[in-house]
Chain A
Amino acid sequence: MSERSMIHLDRVTKVYPGSSVPAVEELTLGIEEGEILVLVGPSGCGKSTTLRLINRMIEPSGGNIYFDGEDVTDVNPDLLRRRIGYVIQQIGLFPHHTIGQNIATVPKMLGWDKKQVAERVDELLDTVGLDPAEFRDRYPKELSGGQAQRVGVARALGADPAVMLMDEPFGAIDPITRDRLQNEFLRLQAELRKTIVFVTHDIDEAIKMGDRIAILGERSVIRQCDTPERILAYPVDDFVDDFIGAGSTLKGLNFERVNSLDLPEYPTMRLGDSLEVGLAAFNGGHQEWLLLLDAEGRPLRWLRRADLTRSEGQLRDRGHPVRAHVEPNATLHDTLEEMLNSSTGASVVVDKRGRYLGVVEIRQLVEVIRELRTEAKEHYEALEAAST
């Protein structure tokens, strides 16, 4: 929250004429370069108003707004807005202009030459996954909702602004297309590293899109502003807890990956090993199951102790098949899902070639959750200690 933030709001207030209660009250917030900060909160909390104060679509009644250290509270708002990409839910493409002309709007206003503008239009259409030759000369009425939203994003990126403001950009799109657009947008952002303020009322979208999330209460008061992981692990008060809703622990598992776990020793034996090897492995620990691997080290069967000593049939036909396995970059959420599908309540971790790396059990997930909570709690206690 320093002067080095890309966008810095300093005690920004908005009081509408004729209203005694401010819509936004003394909001101080820093948005760091290259991050997506999501403003999320119940409807009517003033999150859209807050967003629109940043590009001064709404003029603040008090406080200051800084861009990269420069006070922009009183500069010409039209010139300011040409430096900021702006995407709204209804998109608002110009219906009388072609897609190309729409995307060229800001570059043209900034006086780019024709060739430069044409190249930029094609480049941006490519960037958002639309074929320039096919779409450049079409009109907005010929686009589907998802295509129009892509063009809206391309238009906002027109003059390569460092900052983008997005007001529920995927709010009016069907869930399947929305999911795809969100993923595409995140991939795009990984390359572009824009500084983005993103408004939504959907906590799941906030968790998915945000590097940080600011949960706003009435009058746009920040109730909690942190990474999604920490907010899910440690909601600071009942308001935040209510807002993120049930299942926050489960959602939190989306942010942790298998390769962050220490995988403990687990009894295994290979096909072709003698039964003694297997029995010895059991004796070493107190596990109920042993994992049978093939000659390449790929997991085959879950075996109980009794399966080893039984005399009838091949070893590879005894016990239960290994159905559930994950790769090291899988999220713990997916791992849990696999675990629940598994006959043994454990999920086997394998490398890309399917070779055994280790086993994840439910108690390791419980441990991770406990650690996340402790870490978040200590973080907030440290903050509190520092502020008193």
Chain B
Amino acid sequence: MEGVTSWLGYVGKNYDDILQATWEHARLVLIVIVAATFFSVILGVLVQRNATARAMSLSIAGIFLTIPSLALFALFIPLVGIGNPPALIALFLYAILPILRNTVTGLDEVSPAVVESAKGMGLNTWQQLIRVRLPLAWPVVMAGVRVSSLLVVGIAAIAVLVGGDGLGTFIQGGLTRLGLPGSVESVWVGTVFTVLLGLVLDAGFALVQRLTTSAGLRI
């Protein structure tokens, strides 16, 4: 009980800094998710009908996820220096797999009869993709986007180690001062606000998913 009170006191005192860090954290995540969505949907469309390309791209995206995050973040420092850039690249690579996999699955699930009738009515390949196949795969793609965003929100806390910003600064700051006043509270601020941000973003993406899915596809 005393812990909670002192934590709330800490939050009250550092309110502006916490909001600032949360916003920076959210910005990292959003940039990464938007970029990864564009990239993965395009890649998914390109590889879906080619068994080899599809297996290869899914495997590679899977391998990115298994690279320890600490190492992956650091790997890009020689290329782009320290700060947010190496963090953005690493998070981007993590975000690919769920969206790519769901794009491919979503496109697979489009009924062949619907595509056949679209083609039979004279929709060209591009119109079939934009007007029929992607809209039908979209709810599945968005489910992948939501998984990616939850994944990235957590991992983004590591950005601080390569000089990036976000809620990781509170965690790292607290850990380095462990034992000193306010250190534990600081770690908790980083953790709790990261979780809250994850929930808010997920709710936001759920709303986007609903608004961008045709009423004819809702269950």
- Cβ–Cβ < 8 Å partners of B122 in chain A: 78-83, 106, 109
Query: Would B121 and A106 count as touching, CB distance under 8 A?
Result: yes
Which residue from chain A places its CB closest to the CB of B127 in the assembled complex?
A: A109
Assembly CA distance A106 to B118 (angstroms): 10
Provide the residues of chain B in CB contact with A354, threshold 8 Å: none
- If A79-B122, A139-B215 touch, whether A93 touches B135 (CB-CB below 8 Å) is no
Q: How far is the CB of B116 from chain A (nearest CB, A)?
A: 6
Known A106-B122, A140-B216; contact A95-B114, beta-carbon cutoff 8 A: yes
> What are the residues of chain B within 8 A of A165 when measuring CB–CB?
120
Of A86, A96, A98, A141, which one neighbours B121 at CB under 8 angstroms? Answer: A86
Report the Cα distance A105→B119, complex, angstroms: 12
- Our pick among A83, A95, A105 for the contact of B216 (Cβ within 8 Å) is A95
- Decide if B216 touches A109 in the complex (CB within 8 Å): no
Assess the A105–B121 pair: CB atoms within 8 A. Answer: yes
Report the minimum CB–CB distance from B209 to chain A (whole Å): 14
B119 proximity list for chain A (CB < 8 A): 57, 81
Q: Are B113 and A96 in contact (CB under 8 A)?
A: no
A44 within 8 A of B: no
What is the bound-complex CA distance between A100 and B120, given in angstroms?
Answer: 18
Given the complex, which residues of A lie within 8 Å of B66, measured CB to CB?
none
- Determine whether B5 belongs to the interface, using a CB cutoff of 8 Å to chain A: no
B124: A residues at CB distance < 8 A: 78
Cα–Cα, bound, A300→B202 (Å): 84
Q: Is A117 an interface residue (CB 8 A)?
A: no
Check A114 for interface membership: any CB of B closer than 8 A: no
A156 to B136, alpha carbons, bound, how many Å? 21
- CB < 8 Å: which of B113, B123, B217 contacts A78? B123
Complex CA gap A183/B113 in Å reads 25
Q: How far is the CB of B49 from chain A (nearest CB, A)?
A: 17
| Chain A residues closer than 8 Å to B135, beta-carbon distance | 96
**Pair B132/A94 contact, Cβ less than 8 Å:** yes
B214 at the A/B interface (Cβ < 8 Å)?
yes
The chain A residue with its CB closest to the CB of B131 is: A94
Nearest Cβ on chain B to A168's Cβ, whole angstroms: 12
* Complex contact B121–A81 (CB within 8 A): yes
User: What residues of chain B lie closer than 8 Å to A92, measured between beta carbons?
Assistant: 111, 113-118, 120
Residues of B within 8 A of A93 (CB): 114, 117
* CB 8 Å contact bits of B27-62 with A (1 = contact, 0 = none): 000000000000000000000000000000000000
Contact mask A122-151 → B, CB, 8 Å, 1/0?
000000000000000001110000000000
- Annotate B45-89 by CB proximity to A: 1 below 8 A, 0 otherwise: 000000000000000000000000000000000000000000000
Write the nearest CB–CB distance from B154 to chain A, whole angstroms: 33
Contact B118 A96 (CB under 8 A): no
Chain B residues within 8 Å of A106, by CB: 121-122
Q: Confirm or deny: A339 has a beta carbon within 8 angstroms of a beta carbon on chain B.
A: no
**What are the interface flags for A103-123 relative to B under an 8 Å C-beta threshold, 1 for contact and 0 otherwise?**
001100100000000000000
Determine the chain A residues whose CB is within 8 A of the CB of B136 once the complex forms. Answer: 95-96
How far does the alpha carbon of A173 sit from the alpha carbon of B217 in the complex, in Å? 23
> Given the known A-B contacts A92-B111, A93-B114, A95-B136, are A139 and B120 also in contact in the complex, defined by CB atoms under 8 Å?
no
Nearest chain B residue, comparing its CB with the CB of A140: B216
Q: Which chain B residues numbered 93 to 143 have a C-beta less than 8 Å away from chain A? A: 111, 113-124, 127, 132, 135-136
Q: Considering the chains assembled together, what is the distance between the CA atoms of A158 and B119 in angstroms?
A: 15
CA distance A91 to B127 in the complex (A): 19
Shortest Cβ distance from B132 into A: residue: A94
As a 0/1 sequence over residues 328 to 355 of chain A, the CB contacts with chain B under 8 angstroms (1 = contact) are 0000000000000000000000000000
* B216 pairs with A141, CB closer than 8 A: yes
Would A90 and B113 be within 8 Å (CB), given that A97-B214, A97-B216 are in contact? yes
- 15 more CB-based (< 8 A) A-B contacts, given A57-B116, A80-B122, A95-B214: A55-B120, A78-B124, A79-B122, A81-B121, A83-B122, A86-B120, A92-B114, A92-B120, A93-B114, A94-B216, A95-B111, A96-B132, A96-B217, A141-B216, A152-B117
In the complex, 5 of the A-B residue pairs with CB atoms within 8 angstroms, ordered by the A residue number, are A57-B116, A92-B120, A105-B123, A109-B122, A158-B121
Closest 10 pairs between A and B when the two form their complex, measured CB to CB: A92-B117, A139-B216, A90-B113, A82-B122, A96-B214, A86-B120, A81-B122, A92-B113, A78-B124, A92-B114
